[in-house]
Structure 1
Amino acid sequence: MDVTTSRELAAIAAEAARAVGDRLRAAFRSRPEVLTKRDFHDPVTEHDKAAEEDIRAVLGRLCPDSVVVGEEGGSHGAGEVCWYVDPIDGTANFAAGLPFFCTSIGAAVNGEVVAGVVYDPVRNDEFTAWLGGAECNGRPLRSAGARTDREAMLLSSFPTPRDLAAGGEEALHRFARMVEAFASTRRPGSAALKLAHVAAGWADVAYGTHVNAWDVAAGSLLVRQAGGTYLPLSGSVFEPGGYLACVGGFDLAGSVLADLVPGGDA
């Protein structure tokens, strides 16, 4: 795909993401009713579903011959372009009133992510990526920061309840090694927004497990186009699994997380 078409898709994603900004800001800290999906750790609100419907309407109007794969509504449509939509990535934060959530929309063509937007409605930060670059609110992004664990800020929701159920003591031991190795370890939630912060150089490393394409499609392109490294630990952005991302110049081979890299060699 050419750069011009890629940027046009990014502009469409940005319009769709901003279309739900007012709704999410108005509902934020209203303590909406929370339902659950997989279990009580997996919340959803009426605003997740309504926002996704609004996003689908915008994408359908601006890019009618396309597929939309949404976290709440599944896959609909047909066409060359496939949109991966998470209307509220970080629903638990949104529902509780913690200002770390976003809308994430990524566009893929022939199995390649070619455009993406991560929109933080609270701060009104719009992170945009296309095949020619990445920017935040119109300013170019440069993913740069710490070079080693002992200097770095790590953003990670590991271990999740699913990690603890599967890994038990080993998951706790890995978390302990992470806390000991990194200068700071934070668990803010929202994979997409964590990746956007790595792309901006506001954090140095992000690590997550059990994510889907709608969580990371846009963020993966943001990190790469900003000069950072994004690794899908499942082998593909489109396969459920884990991810590891870091700013450009970070010594991943020397990191406590190096053993996560596919092949065991960063």
Structure 2
Amino acid sequence: MDLNTSRELTAIASEAARAVGDRLRGAFRSRPQVRTKRDFHDPVTEHDKAAEDHIRDVLARRCPDSVVVGEEGGTHGEGAVSWYVDPIDGTANFAAGLPFFCTSIAAAVDGEVVAGVVYDPVRDDEFAAWLGGATCNGTPIRSAGARTDREAMLLSSYPTPRDLDRDGDAALDRLARMTRAFAAVRRPGSAALKLAHVAAGWSDVAYGTHVNAWDVAAGSLLVRQAGGVYLPLSGSVFAPGGYLACVGGFDLGASVMAEVAAAASTS
């Protein structure tokens, strides 16, 4: 795909993500009613579906011959471009009033992510990536930072309740190793926004399990186009599974995360 087309798709993703910004800012800290999907750890609000519906309307108008794969509404449409949409990545944070959530939209063509936007409506930060680069609010970003675990900030929600149910004490042992190895470990929620922060060099490593393409497609392109490393542990960004990302220059081979991610993926 040529760079101009990639940038055009990024502009469409930006328009769609910003179209729901006012709604999400207005509803933030209103303590909306929460329902659950898989279990009580997996919340959803009326704003998730409403935001996704609005995003679908924008994409249908601006790129009518396309497929939309949304977290809330499933897969609809036909065409060469596939959009992966998470209207609120970090719904638990949004519902509780914790300002770490975002809208994530990515475009893929022929099995390759070619455009992506992660929009933080609280801070009005827009992270955008295309095949020629990555920016935050229009300024080029570079994924650079720590080189070793002992200098680095790790963002990770591991172990999740599903990891604990599956791996038990082994998952807690891995968390202990991570906590001891890194300068700091944080569990902020929102895979997409964690990846955006690694892309910007605001954090050094991000690790997660049990994600879907709408969670990480845009963030994966952000990290790579900013010069960082993104590894889909399932083999593909489009297959459910885990991910590991780090800033450029980080010694991943010597990191405790190389062993932790490998062990968690095979257990």
TM value normalised by structure 1? 0.98
Give me the identity figure in percent.
83
Name the structure 1 match of 2:245: 245
CA shift, 1:260, in A, is: 5.0
- Tell me the distance in 1 between the aligned counterparts of 2:102 and 2:169: 32
CA shift, 1:261, in A, is: 6.1
8 Å Cα contact 1:233/1:260 also seen in 2 = no
8 Å Cα contact 1:52/1:72 also seen in 2 = yes
CA shift, 1:8, in A, is: 0.3
Matching of residues 154-169 of structure 1 within 5 Å: 154-169=154-169
1:233 aligns with 2:233: yes
CA shift, 1:259, in A, is: 2.1
- Give, as a single letter, the amino acid of the residue that structure 2 aligns with 1:130: W
- Give, as a single letter, the amino acid of the residue that structure 2 aligns with 1:24: L
- Tell me the distance in 2 between the aligned counterparts of 1:167 and 1:241: 15
Name the structure 2 match of 1:141: 141
Name the structure 2 match of 1:27: 27
- Give, as a single letter, the amino acid of the residue that structure 1 aligns with 2:191: A
CA shift, 1:100, in A, is: 0.1
Name the structure 1 match of 2:40: 40
CA shift, 1:262, in A, is: 6.5
Structure 1, unpaired ranges of 5+: none
Q: Deviations over 1:94-125 (max 9, x none)?
A: 00000000000000000000000000000000
Matching of residues 1-266 of structure 1 within 5 Å: 1-259=1-259
- Tell me the distance in 2 between the aligned counterparts of 1:245 and 1:120: 20
8 Å Cα contact 2:174/2:260 also seen in 1 = no
8 Å Cα contact 1:213/1:238 also seen in 2 = yes
- Tell me the distance in 2 between the aligned counterparts of 1:58 and 1:210: 29
- Tell me the distance in 1 between the aligned counterparts of 2:35 and 2:261: 35
- Give, as a single letter, the amino acid of the residue that structure 2 aligns with 1:141: I
- Tell me the distance in 2 between the aligned counterparts of 1:106 and 1:207: 20
Instruction: Specify the SS of the correspondent of 2:245.
Output: strand
Instruction: Specify the SS of the correspondent of 1:257.
Output: helix
- Tell me the distance in 2 between the aligned counterparts of 1:157 and 1:139: 29
- Tell me the distance in 1 between the aligned counterparts of 2:255 and 2:102: 29
8 Å Cα contact 1:231/1:261 also seen in 2 = no
8 Å Cα contact 1:105/1:118 also seen in 2 = yes
TM value normalised by structure 2? 0.97
- Give, as a single letter, the amino acid of the residue that structure 2 aligns with 1:62: R
Instruction: Specify the SS of the correspondent of 1:253.
Output: helix
Tell me the C-alpha RMSD between the 2 structures. Answer: 1.0
Q: Deviations over 1:72-101 (max 9, x none)?
A: 000000000000000000000000000000
CA shift, 1:258, in A, is: 1.4
- Give, as a single letter, the amino acid of the residue that structure 2 aligns with 1:205: V
Q: Deviations over 1:204-250 (max 9, x none)?
A: 00000000000000000000000000000000000000000000000
- Tell me the distance in 1 between the aligned counterparts of 2:39 and 2:169: 22
Instruction: Specify the SS of the correspondent of 2:254.
Output: coil
- Tell me the distance in 2 between the aligned counterparts of 1:73 and 1:164: 29
- Tell me the distance in 2 between the aligned counterparts of 1:148 and 1:260: 15
8 Å Cα contact 1:17/1:119 also seen in 2 = yes
